[in-house]
Amino acid sequence: MPSNPQSGNSTLSDQQTQTPSFPFDSDAERVLVQRIQDAFSKTDLLRMKELVAINEEDSLTPVELAEYTQLSQRLFQANTSRLKAINELATLRGSSFEATFSEFDDGEHWNE
């Protein structure tokens, strides 16, 4: 499933702006899917992975530690928002949370 990663500080060039490719039963469903797909930019995800690797070596500089902390907080907030939207979408569709979550589990945004 195509994703639409976005973050508050990312540029339009590293964001995908396409609408999801499956049909929607309502405008509410379309809005919820868009909320789910609005996540970190690929640039932010790559930087987070770099910082995680550096952190595992216990070699973060103070500047990197501040960046790591900020990105971690933003990722937590983005995932919380996405999970709430998935729950709302599951309720709207009358399906389980697990089934709805599996539609959006791309492996990139949930394990950081």
How does pLDDT run across 37-71, given as a tens digit for each residue? 876 777 888 999 999 999 999 999 999 999 999 99
Residue 112 inside a domain? The answer is: no
Per the structure, how many domains does the chain have?
Answer: 1
Tens of pLDDT along 3-46?
A: 433 444 433 333 333 444 566 788 999 999 988 887 677 788 89
Tens of pLDDT along 60-112?
A: 999 999 999 999 999 888 889 889 999 999 999 999 999 999 988 776 655 54
pLDDT of residue 57: 94
The Cα–Cα gap between 51 and 64 comes to 7
Residue 65 inside a domain? The answer is: yes
pLDDT of residue 107: 66
Which residue range is the domain that position 73 belongs to? 26-104
Residue 21 inside a domain? The answer is: no
The Cα–Cα gap between 58 and 60 comes to 6
Q: Which SS3 state, helix, strand or coil, does residue 4 take?
A: strand
Our CA dihedral for 58, 62, 66, 67, rounded to 10 degrees, sits at -70
Distance of CA 28 to the CA centre of its chain: 19
Residue 17 inside a domain? The answer is: no
Residue 95 inside a domain? The answer is: yes
